[in-house]
Amino acid sequence: MDRLIIRGGVPLRGQVEAGGAKNAALPAMAAALLTGESIQLHHVPQLGDVKTIIGLLNHLGVSVERGDRQALLFRADDIDQHEAPYHLVKTMRASVLVLGPLVARFGRARVSLPGGCAIGPRPINLHLAALEKMGATVSLDAGYVEAKASRLRGARITFDGQTVTGTENVMMAAALADGVTVLENAACEPEVADLAALLSRMGARIEGAGTPTISIEGVSHLHGAEHEVIPDRVEAGTFMVAAAITGGDVTINRCLPSHLEAITEKLREAGVLVEEADCRIRVLGDGQLRGVNVRTHPYPGFATDMQAQFMALLSIAQGSSVITETVFENRFMHVNELLRMGADIKVIGTTAFVHGVPILSGAPVMATDLRASASLVLAGLAAQGTTTVSRVYHLDRGYESIERKLQSLGADIERVAE
Ligand code: EPU
């Protein structure tokens, strides 16, 4: 297991590029199951989670080839399996994204139930209720959910709570259903809109993706397509916080500032200068951070995937901050590690009360969640002394070459294999 060793206190300076979005690449790759023709995706980041879904697609019979640079070519013309096994779903909950495409195209799917994970229970009841409304028979057997339907039919579905992968799963299923499906209270995340853009290129008829009401007119078959994955707003946001927390000056290229507005707004409120251009964003920190209150929300609100990183920042901001997590029940596992670095944070339920301290001190730390691990790297970059972050494989699930990108900005960080 690798560790990252960070000697903190260096203001980051320079330019860095955001990679393709993990949470857009994963559903796009699952969408390859909807057709027997080739799907070519560009800007697919090289991440642990991407490897996991390639493993799952291979297991189902999809051929996956690497193209130039970050392109991947998928062909699902010889599917002989309809099951997502426990060991793959357990490693990555997004494996559940194969459920909708498999039922829609092959009439059946068997997917291991995800169960709980490091950030709280992650049920898929909303995915299943929607598929049932579209005519699927859903049953549970030995920890697996089985869905069957000779042909799905369009339905009016009002989600009882916003779900990103649920919206994506049902949108993919509806693309091949008989008739029109209308999704109400759908997730509005840019990754949902990006999936809709790919599906439309494949011949799907979708309107309203990116808004709470999505209408999908099913077609009898979908065809091959080429698509470029949108930039990763969470990776870009993490570099924005890295610039701010070290009092540096960093430009993030190939990102979409319109997807980062909630982060930009909070950074400005905290006293950080943020300049936005077409496809890049510059963040200048002068080390004078102010406490701010943060409440996570589905998009366009402040993303839960940026909450941990912001907590690292606010732990050295002047004054008090209140951070409320409303999306997941248990997403504060970074708190105890930040405390070990000298932060002053109290958690009551889903609210964290942060009193800024002048300085964090380096320490050995680890976390079992991707974004929590990212917050520890950020804290280490700002801390006095040396921080060792263990269990780096969590970071590798969602950040491509994080240490190399940070090194290019001047950070004193190295990866050590154990
Ligand atoms: N929920 C239910 N029932 C469902 C589905 C969700 O109760 O059937 C609840 C969840 O328990 C949670 C809330 O609804 O409390 C939102 O969950 P959602 O389904 O939106 O999460 P997800 O689709 O499993 C995606 C991202 C996560 C991100 C969340 C929220 C992907 C592959 N994953 O997860 O990303 O935190 O949306 O924005 O898109 C990450 O990248 O680190 C990450 C965890």
pLDDT band at 68 (very low <50, low <70, confident <90, very high): confident
| Helix, strand, coil % in the chain, rounded to nearest 5 | 35, 30, 35
Is the CB of residue 45 below 6 angstroms from any atom belonging to ligand 1? no
Q: What is the pLDDT of residues 265-284, one digit of tens each?
A: 999 999 999 999 999 999 99
Ligand 1, atom nearest to 124 Cα: 8
% of residues, the chain, pLDDT over 70: 98
**Has residue 246 got a pLDDT over 80?**
yes
Nearest CA to ligand 1 atom 44: 305
Do 79 and 60 touch, CB atoms closer than 8 A? yes
CA distance 169 to 181: 13
Residue 99 pLDDT: 97
Nearest-atom index, ligand 1, CA of 191: 39
> What is the DSSP secondary structure assignment for residue 325, as one 8-state letter?
-
Q: Among residues of the chain, what percentage have pLDDT more than 90?
A: 91
- Residue 329 CA: nearest ligand 1 atom is 15
pLDDT, residue 70, reads 84
**pLDDT: is 117 or 389 the higher one?**
389
* Mean pLDDT computed over 246-267: 98
- At residue 69 the predicted structure's pLDDT band, cuts being 50, 70 and 90, is confident
Dist. CA 327 → ligand 1 center (Å): 8
Least confident of 121-135, 190-204, 369-383: 121-135
Average pLDDT, the chain: 95
369 CA closest ligand 1 atom index: 42
Asked if the model's pLDDT at residue 12 lies above 60, the reply is yes
Residue to mutate (ligand 1; options 163, 167, 327; most atoms within 8 A of CB): 163
Cα(284) to ligand 1 centroid in Å equals 31
- DSSP conformational letter for 412: E
- Tell me if 333 sits within 8 A of 368, measured CB to CB: yes
Q: Contact, 4 vs 391, CB < 8 A?
A: no
Question: Taken in order 200, 204, 206, 212, is the CA torsion positive or negative?
Answer: negative
Ligand 1: centre distance to CA 417 (Å): 32
Over residues 293-332, the pLDDT tens digits come to 999 999 999 999 999 999 999 999 999 999 999 999 889 9
- Section 144-158 average pLDDT: 96
Which protein residue's CA is at the shortest distance from atom 39 of ligand 1?
23
Tens digits of residue pLDDT in 214-243: 999 999 999 999 999 999 999 999 999 999
- Per-residue pLDDT reduced to its tens digit, 71-90: 999 999 999 899 999 988 88
Q: 3-state class of 112 per DSSP?
A: strand
96-142 confidence digits (pLDDT tens): 999 999 999 999 999 998 765 666 667 899 999 999 999 999 999 88
For residue 354, how far is the Cα from the chain centroid?
25
> How far does residue 165's CA lie from ligand 1's centre (Å)?
7
pLDDT at 199 over 60: yes
- 279 annotated active-site: no
Global model pTM greater than 0.85? yes
Ligand 1 mutation pick, 122, 259, 332, max ligand atoms within 8 A of CB: 122
pLDDT at residue 116, as a whole number: 57
The secondary structure of 215-260, three-state, reads EEECCCCCCCEEEECCECHHHHHHHHHHHHHCCCEEEEECCCHHHH
- The per-residue pLDDT for 121 is 65
CA 77 to chain centre: 28
Residue type at 193 in one-letter notation: A
Task: Name the strands in the sheet holding 386-390, side by side, starting at the edge strand that comes first in the sequence.
Answer: 364-366, 386-390, 3-7, 412-416
pLDDT at 182 over 70: yes
Cα 332 to Cα 324: distance, rounded to the nearest angstrom: 10
Rounded mean pLDDT of 173-197? 98
pLDDT of residue 117: 63
Is the per-residue pLDDT at 392 higher than 70?
Answer: yes
Give residue 115's pLDDT. Answer: 62
Is 328 near ligand 1, meaning CB less than 6 Å away?
Answer: yes
Specify which residues 39 forms β-bridges with: 74, 225
- Say if ligand 1 is within 6 A of residue 96 CB: no
Q: Answer whether 200's CB lies under 8 Å from 174's CB.
A: no
- Answer yes or no: is the C-beta of 93 below 6 A from any ligand 1 atom: yes
pLDDT band at 24 (very low <50, low <70, confident <90, very high): very high
- pLDDT value, residue 67: 86
Token duo for residue 52: 């996991």
With a 6 Å cutoff on the Cβ, whether 305 touches ligand 1 is yes
Q: Which of 54, 35, 33, 36 is nearest to 44 (CA)?
A: 54
Dihedral (Cα; 279, 312, 384, 393), 10-degree rounding: -80
Expressed in angstroms and rounded, the spacing between residue 147 Cα and the centre of ligand 1 is: 21
Atom of ligand 1 nearest to the CA of 187: 20
